[in-house]
Structure 1
């Protein structure tokens, strides 16, 4: 049931890529159970068979169809391109993303919208997240463990964000109006399109942190099929591209110049840490 005083329409971008129907159903149910009543779903089909997806939605989630808009891409595109296809038809005051294998607490939308209504100078709200480890057993998802992802997150600084992404993509809700200044997601990246977007967002705007764990990031470490999470090699290549991109902005001067140096510094620090760990893991002769 919606709480009094809730306002603002939220456009929810849901990317789906033909994963098992059970995962998409879980994501859609977590939207249907939201206590904030004003939302629309922009479902971006980024690789699933169109007829099968539509039949599944009509069979299992018919009640959501009046509040859902389909975007069927003619062919599978990158992560950022799929999000941008959804952004092009968004009509809400706010935007958030929920991939087909993740989920929310029922208060996610309500808490983030209320935070932005109270902090009128803030452009984005971030909540804390939990990592949910799970695996497939006999066609069913079995919970292995649930742990806090960022339980100490109280405020967001560019210094901390330059080291690595501090929150999951579905833990961010932002005002749609900011897209006029910062642009859409980077469609050329293999991964980390959310982190690159966040860097541009927080270079220009303030945010507010909702100190509750309301976003659930589901990981399936043992999965090797289409239900698996993203490849770490894609993350590494995208991380290096983003840091080099900002380093090349040193000629522009000002805040972006300092931020480019900070990103480069943390990039080298992260790589040295990885090399050190790899050396420690090497067997001694």
Structure 2
């Protein structure tokens, strides 16, 4: 396979609605020296074919398909896609994310102008909140994700992940030096890779919002949904597992290395935020987990507001009912009501005799 400048790796499984957007994101790039590797990780190959077939002319031979008969997991899918391509640079473009059309043009220019030890580059990212409704994607709101990030220090990366994969273009040679993505990690594989990457290389920052990280906490059905509780527990568990493993390696070798760094960073933040446990959890959490925490908080606040509104409506109805009862009692006690009682009785009797109601 001839070498291109950039290999774009897209992992997908039975999400054609989102894959269509990812395909358009890639094909819409102003930079053309790329190959798009779509790794269908255990999904229906026919669904992928239906998405890409109409774009054969636009792809012009720059598409590679990898169909895994069974799902191997996100990081294994990344490794399969990387192995199926040849390029100077690599980037992970998941099926639910997207780029500005100038992403590849500007990011490759930045990397090519950089000197060692720089071997990767990121841009600023925009977090897009969305929902799946009736087989369509409905955007809800946008917010800056890391617009204040001007550099990528290893010490800060040791505390938490600083950027999503969609924003990260890096040299293939740097991946070969750092090692592949760890396939045993179902989550946080990108953070683990970023830590190993930064041990030997630097990452340049382009302060432009060219990457869009789409996020759905709840979706209507199937593989489009994200689990809130399960995702939070999984991220927290593997966050601790990665930190513990790195620290044990340092202890076994009698050195002060990355293991001490990732754990010391969180320990320092423990002291700073000891009076605010909730803030501590959020500060230490990886971006995906912090998003889950934010969404859970928003749902709880919305539920609390709805409850307060319901209580206010109930109180209003009770007040109106009480006022109506008081008015009826006043009418019953009034002189006019008592004086006209015989007339009302006569009218009722007349209706009964004539068969009217």
Tell me which of 237, 249, 273 is aligned to 2:277: 273
- Structure possessing the higher radius of gyration over alpha carbons: 2
Q: Secondary structure of 2:223's match? A: coil
1:15-74 Cα shifts (integer Å, max 9, x gaps): 01111x221111111111111111101110012112332233214555326111111112
In 1: Cα distance, 2:187 partner to 2:38 partner: 20
Instruction: Note if contact 2:247-2:259 (Cα within 8 Å) is conserved in structure 1.
Output: yes
Question: Residue 95 in 1 paired to residue 95 in 2?
Answer: no
SS at match of 2:94: coil
Distance in 2 (alpha carbons) for counterparts of 1:276 and 1:9: 41
The reply to whether residue 194 of structure 1 matches residue 172 of structure 2 is no
Q: Equivalent of 2:104, from 96, 109, 123?
A: 109
Alignment partners' CA distance in 1, 2:84 and 2:95: 19
Pair 1:249-2:249 in alignment: yes
Unaligned runs of at least 5 residues, structure 2: 282-292, 294-299, 301-357
Equivalent residue in structure 2 for 1:151, among 140, 147, 151: 147
Range 192-201 or range 61-70, more displaced = 61-70
Mapped to 1, the partners of 2:89 and 2:55 lie a distance apart of 27
Q: What is the aligned counterpart of 1:226 among 223, 226, 230?
A: 223
Contact 2:97-2:214 within 8 A present in 1 as well = yes
Once superposed, what is the RMSD of the aligned Cα atoms? 2.6
State the TM-score, normalizing by the size of structure 1: 0.87
Count, aligned residues: 273
User: Are the aligned partners of 1:246 and 1:263 in contact in 2 as well (CA < 8 Å)?
Assistant: no
Q: Is the 8 A contact 2:269 2:280 kept in 1?
A: no
Q: Tell whether the 8 Å contact from 2:92 to 2:166 is kept in structure 1 after alignment.
A: yes
Change in Cα spacing, 1:266 to 1:145, as seen in structure 2 (3 Å) is farther
SS of residue in 1 equivalent to 2:109: helix
What residue ranges of structure 1 are gaps of 5+ in the alignment? 1-7
Pick one of 258, 261, 266 that aligns with 1:259.
Answer: 261
User: Whose helix fraction is larger, Structure 1's or Structure 2's?
Assistant: 2
Q: Which stretch has the larger CA shift, 235-244 or 217-226?
A: 217-226
> Quick check: 1:58–1:65 contact (8 Å CA) kept in 2?
no
Greater relative CO (CA pairs within 8 A, separation 6+): 1
Deviations 1:204-224 (A, max 9, x none): 111100101111011122215
The match for 1:47 is 42
TM-score, normalised to structure 2, is 0.70
Give the secondary structure class of the aligned counterpart of 1:41.
strand
Separation (CA, whole Å) in 1 of partners of 2:66 and 2:268: 38
CA distance in structure 2 between the partners assigned to 1:229 and 1:215 by the alignment: 21
